[in-house]
Amino acid sequence: MIPFTYARPTNAEDALRQGAAAGARYLGGGTNLVDLMRQTIEQPGLLIDVTGLPGAIEETPDGGLLIGAAARNTAVAEHRAVRARYPMLARAIVAGASGQIRNMATVGGNLLQRTRCLYFYDHAGSRCNKRVPGQGCDAIEGFNRSHAILGTSPACVATHPSDMCVALAALDAVVHIRSSGGGRTVPLTDLHRLPGDHPEIETVLEPGELVTGIALPALPLAARSAYRKVRDRASYAFALVSVAAALEVEGGTVRDVRLALGGVATKPWRAWRAEEALRSRPATAENFRAAAEAEFAEARPLRDNGFKAALAVRTTTAVLEELAGG
């Protein structure tokens, strides 16, 4: 491992001051960053351990929750208010990793984890624009069964790996960010960038900015929500397809809906098109299926992953049927 300096600030101001240094990276639980350092893909000169910063889960005046970025994933999944008001989030976190990893991983780190694309990790033998800009993408013509079919570009087809972020996208979550110049908020759906010509730029964060928390708005329909993950094996595997959904049905008609997808896109994918197709329509399997199909109208499948669109449509339809049935 390449030598680095380690710091553990006790407050956000100190963390931001140190984060302005060249080559500095913020360290949460380390479940992704440390692996990348072992692989020499990430080579920070300074690690700033921010796990000592606030990680509380607090009620907000509007009836929502504010989750500190240093909160452990286990604490969020087990929190009574999360389980009661936002069950899709608790289920997504539990589906995302082993208990040991959930105990270490932080909410802020989960937001910023990098892709698990095999070509990204194979720095000795594969080309990857996300790892070395302008190098090329071997996944496009390689083994790409697990890769994205939505939001891709000629430069990158890697999927975003997070389960938690899929649920947060469906829940209208807002990310709180601080810098030396003050604070700002960004909707979770806008935090991650599509790859375009620069897949190495993965979020809208500016150098040195620090994620301090995630706000969940009051969202009554989220109390009836679900998260379903389809994967190759039952434990500790990344999603081929995942669906986070909340549904409100009144008199047999969809009054409101939230829908996000994982495993199929280069970022946590809010299914805006499908939601629009469902609102004020009868809550039937046929309409659920048609809305899901509309979301994939512009999908760009590769040689090995064309099955994902059909699998996502079936999974989305099944989850919505389950929620509609109470």
Q: Please give the pLDDT value at position 215.
A: 98
Sheet holding 241-250, edge to edge: 225-230, 241-250, 253-262, 269-270
Residue 24, SS3 per DSSP: strand
User: Average pLDDT for residues 227-233, to the nearest whole number?
Assistant: 95
- What is residue 118's predicted lDDT score, i.e. its pLDDT? 96
Is residue 326 predicted with pLDDT exceeding 80? no
> Residue range 192-219: average pLDDT?
97
Write out pLDDT tens, residues 133-180: 999 999 999 999 999 999 999 999 999 999 999 999 999 999 999 998
Q: How does pLDDT run across 249-263, given as a tens digit for each residue?
A: 999 999 999 999 999
Mean pLDDT of 63-92: 97
pLDDT tens digits, one per residue of 187-200 = 999 999 999 999 99
Mean pLDDT of the chain: 96
Pairing outcome for strands 174-179 and 253-262: unpaired
pLDDT digits (tens, 9 = 90+) for 31-74: 999 999 999 999 999 999 999 988 999 999 999 999 999 999 99
For residue 147, how far is the Cα from the chain centroid?
A: 15
Look at residue 13 in the predicted model and tell me its pLDDT.
94
Nearest-angstrom CA–CA distance, 283 and 289: 11
The three-class DSSP label of residue 104 is helix
**Residue 325 to residues 247, 284, 320, Cα–Cα distance (Å):** 10, 10, 8
d(CA 322, CA 135): 45
Q: How many residues does the chain have?
A: 326
CA atoms within 13 A on the CB side of 269: 25
The pLDDT assigned to 277 comes to 98
The confidence score (pLDDT) of residue 99 equals 87
Query: Of 149, 175, 22, 162, nearest to 93 (Cα)?
Result: 162
CATH code at 224-324: 3.30.390.50
Maximal CA-CA distance, the chain = 63
For the chain, give the percent of residues with pLDDT over 70. 99
CB neighbour class for 181 (10 Å; exposed up to 12, middle 13-18, buried from 19): exposed
**pLDDT surpasses 80 at 11:** yes
Q: What is the mean pLDDT of residues 84-108?
A: 94
For 92, counting Cβ atoms within 10 Å of its Cβ (0-12 exposed, 13-18 middle, 19+ buried), the class is: buried
- CA pair distance 9, 32, nearest whole angstrom: 21
| Secondary structure of 234-245 in HEC code, one letter for each residue | CCCCCCCEEEEE
Identify whether the C-beta of residue 104 lies closer than 8 Å to the C-beta of residue 30.
yes
pLDDT tops 70 at residue 1 = no
For position 317, what pLDDT does the model report? 98
Domain spans of the chain, in order of start:
5-47, 224-324
One-letter amino acid for residue 77 of the chain:
A
DSSP 120-137: HH-TTT---TTTSTTS--
Contact call for residues 159 and 264 (beta carbons, < 8 A): yes
